[in-house]
Amino acid sequence: MAMMAPFLKYGTFGEETSLVLAFLIGIGFGFFLERAGFGSARKLVSQFYLNDLAVFKVMFTAIVTAMLGVTYLGWIGWLDLSLVYLVPTYLLPQVVGGLILGVGFVVGGYCPGTSVAATATGRIDGLVYVLGIFAGMFAFAELYPWLKGFYLSGSGEALTLPGTFGLPYGVVVFAVVLMAVGGFYGAGLLEKKFAATGE
Amino acid sequence: MPGWFSRLTLTQKLAAAALALGAVALFASPYPGTKVTLDAKELALIVGTEADHVEATELAAWIIESRADYRLIDLRTRAEFEQYHIPTAVNIPMNVLTEAGLGRQEKLVLYSEGGIHAAQAWMLLRAQGYRSAYMLKGGLDEWKDQVVFPVFADNAGPDERARDERRRSISAFFGGQPRSAAAVAAGSDALPGVAAPVTPAMPKVAAPSTPSGTAKPPAKKKKEGC
């Protein structure tokens, strides 16, 4: 009981400290994105040519690592998962939002996080992408009164996979691990197949 | 380490580790669920030192001072809450209490009609690691008797009279009126005598507190008076 996570909710530290920590974690995130080669649009878009699926692998690895970590920390009682914030689910608007982000990813060659990492290393295309993000945010904010109805359509509940499918939490964890390992194997095959014709 | 394992690449080893962890996780649930543990010794200590509750008059003072370092929680049903609640209270019925997103370190003051539900809720919250949960001693019943409709002895001495004067103004602040001990005793039975003035007058109290949401506007006025 001495140290229980989430630290902020348990009052281990305050709002200010959490901002400092968020900054440090952000720096770490950017550093590893850059070290993974994700500061380059070339590396990122080869995902869509199927000759280098590093993005898929890195992201799925992150999901599996975090999922196993959270599961085990919760299991041994160091983390109260019921206090971890879940983003409310607005299914249709979020699907549309995901598609818009995907189109932006293909066209611009970055996703929001990697564009900042690219800008930090002085890439002009990254900087243009970041400016595009801010232009999009500004446009969205200005159009919000018209978009609000759609933006908040749906239940707004925080849906989870175990809850939606009525499966025990552990079963979903194992299924996601299987999916990841299967996905990595499949990604390897795809990379081999498209390596020659990729460029 | 078996031979086949050492022949795997690092990636394959990591994948195998993830699979193993995932397989074990089949039997895991990270949510604490509805089972809780209690530190009996700690609880006994808290209850024994009476550090588990707040007196009605103490709470009245906090409300009048507009203190904001605590959260007052009404555990009764929505309908009961709408009929009357202590100013500044929020309504969180028992069954949704642990899902209400209350902070583990937040100072929580719980009350129900009597004291039983609040005590049960208090135990529940303490068991789940809410460190600063308190009950309103005696619940709404004692709140009515001590704060809104306090009873005064008719032959009070000067010391008591000064104290009574303060209680009178507190009672007026919450829209109640003091009763004399003689009037209460005059009723055929003490209990109906207490209930009689309480029941019809209560909605009157709710009226000023409901539209404003909190008791802050009247609180300021009263402070000057005190």
Asked whether residue A10 is assigned to any structural domain, the reply reads no
Q: Once rounded to an integer, what is the mean pLDDT over residues B64-75?
A: 87
Asked whether residue A174 is assigned to any structural domain, the reply reads yes
Q: In what order do the strands lie in the sheet with B133-136?
A: B53-54, B133-136, B108-111, B71-74, B90-91
Instruction: Inform me whether the pLDDT recorded for B65 exceeds 90.
Output: no
Contact B103 A11 (CB under 8 A): yes
How confident is the model over B28-53, as pLDDT tens digits? 776 655 566 677 787 787 877 777 88
In the prediction, which pLDDT does B182 show? Answer: 65
How confident is the model over B90-100, as pLDDT tens digits? 999 888 887 77
How confident is the model over B155-210, as pLDDT tens digits? 767 777 777 788 888 888 888 777 776 666 655 444 333 444 444 445 444 434 43
Please state, in angstroms and as integers, the Cα–Cα distance from residue A162 to each residue in A86, A135, A171, following that order.
Answer: 14, 37, 8
Identify the three-state secondary structure at position A199. coil
Q: What is the chain B residue with the closest CA to A79?
A: B30
Count of domains in chain A? 1
B74 DSSP β-pair partners: B91, B111
Instruction: Inform me whether the pLDDT recorded for B213 exceeds 60.
Output: no
Contact A71 B31 (CB under 8 A): no
Q: What is the chain B residue with the closest CA to A10?
A: B104
Asked whether residue A112 is assigned to any structural domain, the reply reads yes
* Upstream peptide bond of B203 is cis (omega within 30 degrees of 0): no
The residue to which tokens 């699979």 are assigned: B19
Report yes or no: B91 and B65 within 8 Å, Cβ to Cβ: no
Asked whether residue A127 is assigned to any structural domain, the reply reads yes
Asked whether residue A5 is assigned to any structural domain, the reply reads no
Instruction: Choose between A157 and A9: higher pLDDT.
Output: A157
Distance in Å, alpha carbon of A184 to nearest chain B alpha carbon? 9
Contact A70 B104 (CB under 8 A): no
Q: What is the chain A residue with the closest CA to B21?
A: A68
DSSP category for residue B101: -
The listed range with the strongest mean pLDDT (A10-14, A71-75, A125-129, B116-120) is: A125-129
Interface test with A, best of B8, B10, B19 (most A CBs within 10 A): B19
CATH of domain B40-140: 3.40.250.10
H or E element, residue B110: strand B108-111
In the prediction, which pLDDT does A162 show? Answer: 84
Asked whether residue A199 is assigned to any structural domain, the reply reads no
Asked whether residue A50 is assigned to any structural domain, the reply reads yes
Q: Which residues of B touch A71 (CB under 8 A)?
A: 25, 28, 30
Range of the domain at A131: 15-194
Q: Delimit the domains of chain B by residue range.
A: 40-140, 144-216
> Whole-number mean pLDDT of chain B?
75
Asked whether residue A4 is assigned to any structural domain, the reply reads no
Instruction: Choose between B70 and B189: higher pLDDT.
Output: B70
Instruction: Inform me whether the pLDDT recorded for B125 exceeds 90.
Output: no
Report yes or no: A161 and B21 within 8 Å, Cβ to Cβ: no
> Which is it for the CA torsion B218, B110, A87, A63, positive or negative?
positive
In the prediction, which pLDDT does A87 show? Answer: 83
Contact A173 B26 (CB under 8 A): yes
Is A64 at the interface with chain B, CB within 8 A?
yes
| Residue B42 CA to its chain's centroid (Å) | 20
Strands (E) across chain A are located at: none
DSSP category for residue B145: I
In the prediction, which pLDDT does B160 show? Answer: 76
Contact A64 B18 (CB under 8 A): yes
Report yes or no: B156 and B184 within 8 Å, Cβ to Cβ: no
pTM equals 0.58
Report yes or no: A176 and A107 within 8 Å, Cβ to Cβ: no
Q: Once rounded to an integer, what is the mean pLDDT over residues B59-68?
A: 87
Amino acid sitting at position B103: G
How far apart (Å, rounded) are the C-alpha atoms in residues A126 and B57? Answer: 63
In the prediction, which pLDDT does A11 show? Answer: 67
Residues near B162 by Cβ (< 8 Å), separated by ≥ 6?
none
Phi and psi of B170, rounded to 5°? -65, -45
Amino acid sitting at position A111: C
Instruction: Inform me whether the pLDDT recorded for A126 exceeds 50.
Output: yes
In the prediction, which pLDDT does A115 show? Answer: 94
In the prediction, which pLDDT does B9 show? Answer: 87
In the prediction, which pLDDT does B34 show? Answer: 59
HSE, side-chain direction, 13 A CA sphere, residue A112: 9
Binned at pLDDT 50, 70 and 90, residue A30 comes out as very high
Cβ-count burial B40-62 (b if 16+ within 10 Å, e if not): eeeeeebeeeeebbbbbbebbeb
In the prediction, which pLDDT does B166 show? Answer: 80
Report yes or no: B85 and B110 within 8 Å, Cβ to Cβ: no
How far apart (Å, rounded) are the C-alpha atoms in residues B178 and A140? Answer: 59
Q: Count interface pairs A-B at CB distance under 8 A.
A: 80
Report yes or no: B126 and B38 within 8 Å, Cβ to Cβ: yes
Report yes or no: A126 and A115 within 8 Å, Cβ to Cβ: yes
Q: Which two tokens stand for residue B17?
A: 């580790």
